Amino acid sequence: MRIPMIAGNWKMNTTISEAIQLVSEIRWKLGAIDNVDKVICPPFISLAAVSELIKGSSIKLGAQDLYFEDNGAYTGEISPLMLADLCEFVIIGHSERRQYFNETGEIIDKKVQAALRFGLKPILCIGENSDENEAGKTEEVITNQLMASSTRVYYLSG
């Protein structure tokens, strides 16, 4: 049986000190929620500090993205190898990554494969934007997004 998940993506908000304060405030509240995976995804700069604060709690840590290469000259990127020691989850395919960084199904599929290779659990985001919704293309868009990662999605759901 699958366990439902609540995941909080903090996006590009909170400094390290603000993240520490926020975790201190929400840790006991999240701990009181049973029968659900609780995942928080702070900015990359706060992952190590937040990881220390949630040790021993039922809160799990996720990253907001990753690059599909294990290492190399990719300035500003973070690899699955770097995240594997800190995180259990990683958000992949977020609508903002698709929109602002032109991430394609092929790139997202590579990221899913990279995450799985290092034991990270992908939180694969799918969905249409408002224009696609208004044009009645929801099913087509979602199908296309899932088909781009069909073998990995099957693996995760099977």
Q: Report all structural domains of the chain as residue ranges with CATH numbers, in order of start.
A: 1-60 (no CATH), 65-158 (3.20.20.70)
Does the pLDDT at position 86 exceed 50? yes
Which pLDDT belongs to residue 153? 54
How high is the pLDDT of residue 145?
A: 82
Q: Does residue 81 register a pLDDT over 70?
A: yes
In whole angstroms, give the CA distance from residue 115 to residue 133: 30
Q: Residues 14-29: what's their mean pLDDT?
A: 96
pLDDT at residue number 130 = 86
Estimate to the nearest angstrom the gap between the alpha carbon of 98 and the chain centroid: 14
Task: Give the rounded percent of residues in the chain with a pLDDT score beyond 70.
Answer: 94
The pLDDT of 136-147, averaged and rounded, is 86
d(CA 151, CA 133): 26
Q: Which residues pair with 92 in a beta bridge?
A: 124
CB 13 within 8 A of CB 42: no
